[in-house]
């Protein structure tokens, strides 16, 4: 833990077969991990990678930077600091960090619907 009580960043690199351009050092600060999902902070330099979510949701809130998300059909959307978005199960495409990026994320398994989708 650091002085603020947060875990230290885990540094890693994506698998070479996923990287489409660039070779940044990625950083992950895990905040929560459970069978129902995980949450944390993540950062990267400029780079592009293949992004596939076969069976989970990923909610992202960009804290800084700019990204482009593109699906395999070629449709793309750009997001900047302050934007939030949800990638759904079955997403297949690419993630491009257009500049250094820092995000808050939550990953949730598809077989466990998020609480806001549960029947009342």
CA 100 to chain centre: 14
Give the global pTM.
Answer: 0.83
The answer to whether residues 58 and 109 touch, using CB atoms and an 8 Å cutoff, is no
In this predicted structure, the answer to whether residue 112 has a pLDDT above a threshold of 90 is no
pLDDT tens for each residue of 21-62:
998 889 999 998 887 889 999 999 999 999 999 999 999 999
pLDDT tens for each residue of 79-91:
999 999 999 999 9
d(CA 101, CA 82) in angstroms, rounded, equals 12
- What is the model's pLDDT at position 52? 96
């Amino acid at each position: 833990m650091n002085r603020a009580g947060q875990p230290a960043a885990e540094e890693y690199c994506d698998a070479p077969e996923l990287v489409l351009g660039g070779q940044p050092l990625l950083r992950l600060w895990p905040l929560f991990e459970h069978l129902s999902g995980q949450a944390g902070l993540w950062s990267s330099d400029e780079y592009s990678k293949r992004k596939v979510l076969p069976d989970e949701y990923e909610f992202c809130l960009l804290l800084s930077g700019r990204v482009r998300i593109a699906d395999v059909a070629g449709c793309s959307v750009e997001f900047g600091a302050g934007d939030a978005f949800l990638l759904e199960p079955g997403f297949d495409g690419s993630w491009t960090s257009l500049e250094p990026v820092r995000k808050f994320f939550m990953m949730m398994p598809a077989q466990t619907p998020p609480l806001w989708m549960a029947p009342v």
